[in-house]
Amino acid sequence: MNSSPIAVCEDPDVHAGPALFSGLDSGPSLAAHREQYGDVPRISLADLTAAIDRTGLRGRGGAAFPFAIKLRAAADGSRRPVVVINLSEGEPASSKDSALARTRPHLVLDGAVATARALGAHAVHVVLPGDRPLTVAAMDAAIAERHDRRMRLVRHVASPRFVAGQARAVLELMAGRPNLPVTAWTPEAVAGHRSRPTLLSNAETWAHVGRLLHTGPPAGLGTDDEPGTTLLTLRLPGARVAVREVQYGASLRSVLPAKDDAAVLLGGFHGTWTTARAARRLKVSVPGFRESGLALGAGLVLAVDDCPVAWTQRIVAYLAGQSARRCGPCLNGLPALAAAVSAIDDGTGTARVEQLAGLVERRGACAHPDGTVRLVRSLLTAYPDEIDRHGAGHCSWTRQATVVRRLRSVAS
């Protein structure tokens, strides 16, 4: 199986930030956290819902789904809800959940615990990433520091696979079944773990809930439409992986290299390519990215100084191998799509790529095919000339590599 073209980084450079990343210097301990913020906030469901409504909080796992809708659905059920913190981020290139676990674990836990109390839940489930030992250890240490007999913290460890962190896959894991996605006939907020209403969000979302409940709405941060901040994982050529807390509305220019021939992948492996020139004009915004046909997704900003076509070929080959091989269109279509994206170098054009993209989209139990298609389509949109150049046997970045690959394919 193709391994990820980018290795997981659990030890990113983390700077102080205006909200979640404030007070980093005092460390991740419960004592320091209580010193900074005080006890777990007690809040009624009505007040919690009102506070969430005022900030328009969206999930930070990738889909940017409004948290208020999930919260209401979970609260409206007739059965006792379940709360889940999902730390099993599948995007190998993203480090924000690891950064939170290692620096602000109690902010994450407070957000979930306070919400669980407001909902009348008895347990918070913490789902940890199987391929990130430092993150698991950091959360375990934080869980061990807390003693709340009325709120159990139940830990689970997800498998090291790209789709293991998908919501339904997480519910399967919690139910003791294989950690793979299954078809969702109802949203998990309506019927999730053991058919109970299940409020499942990623670590960053819970950290924002925690911060909101402790300190109130993020005054003066972000824009009117999108208050507050978001975490970005920055991977820039020649620099250490970094996680930064930025305000909505901030320009991407400040975090990107000045080189115009850099290619930029935004969001994650399920994200979108753009040129450095276009990326520098962007402001950090979920709807703003959407209007430009881009995705903020899991908050990755990857700038590379080599060829985006070759990168996409490697990433799609990896993603094809990460299919849980359960759904026919995904298990057949993604390897075929990977082959078609590779074949761009042989001058076969992109018709087959587009055909396969249409064939796999929305035809799986999870959004893995859709995310893979988003990445591929964004390459076609952002780099049409480069694709033509590859078809003619050239590459603006690594002319030689393409020639070598062609010689090799002639020889074999």
Partner 1 sequence: MKRALRVDWPACHARGVCHELLPEVVDLDEWGYPIVGGEVTPELLGLAREAVRMCPRLALRIVET
Subset of 167-206 contacting ligand SF4 (CB under 6 A): 181
DSSP secondary structure code for residue 255 in this structure? G
Among 107, 324, 344, 375, binds ligand SF4 (CB under 6 A): 324
Largest CA distance in the chain: 70
Q: Which stretch binds partner 1 (CB under 8 A): 25-33, 78-86, 180-188, 266-274?
A: 180-188
Cβ atoms of 267 and 300 within 8 Å: the answer is yes
**Smallest distance, Å, CB 330 to ligand SF4?**
3
329 sits near partner 1 (criterion: CB under 8 A): yes
**Smallest distance, Å, CB 336 to partner 1?**
9
332 binds, among ligand SF4, partner 1, none (CB under 5 to 8 A by kind): partner 1
Count, in order, helices (H) and strands (E) of the chain: 16, 10
DSSP secondary structure code for residue 225 in this structure? S
Cβ atoms of 394 and 402 within 8 Å: the answer is yes
Phi, psi angles (nearest 5°) of residue 238: 75, 5
146 sits near ligand SF4 (criterion: CB under 6 A): no
**Smallest distance, Å, CB 341 to partner 1?**
17
Q: Which stretch binds partner 1 (CB under 8 A): 18-26, 229-237, 248-256, 326-334?
A: 326-334
366 sits near ligand SF4 (criterion: CB under 6 A): yes
Subset of 344-363 contacting partner 1 (CB under 8 A): 359, 363
Angle at which helix 45-55 crosses helix 105-119, to 10 degrees, equals 130
The rounded distance, in Å, linking the Cα atoms of 336 and 343 is 10
140's tokens: 């375990």
Cβ atoms of 278 and 307 within 8 Å: the answer is no
Cβ atoms of 122 and 150 within 8 Å: the answer is yes
Q: Which helix (DSSP H) or strand (DSSP E) does residue 273 occupy?
A: strand 272-275
365 sits near ligand SF4 (criterion: CB under 6 A): yes
337 sits near partner 1 (criterion: CB under 8 A): no
> x-or-dash pattern for ligand SF4, window 331-360, by CB under 6 A?
x-----------------------------
323 binds, among partner 1, ligand SF4, none (CB under 5 to 8 A by kind): ligand SF4
227's tokens: 């208050």
163 binds, among partner 1, ligand SF4, none (CB under 5 to 8 A by kind): ligand SF4
The rounded distance, in Å, linking the Cα atoms of 208 and 199 is 15
374 sits near ligand SF4 (criterion: CB under 6 A): no
Three-state DSSP class for residue 121: coil
The residues of the shown chain that bind partner 1, judged by CB under 8 A, are: 180-183, 185, 326-330, 332-333, 359, 363-365
The residues of the shown chain that bind ligand SF4, judged by CB under 6 A, are: 163, 181, 323-327, 330-331, 364-366, 368-369
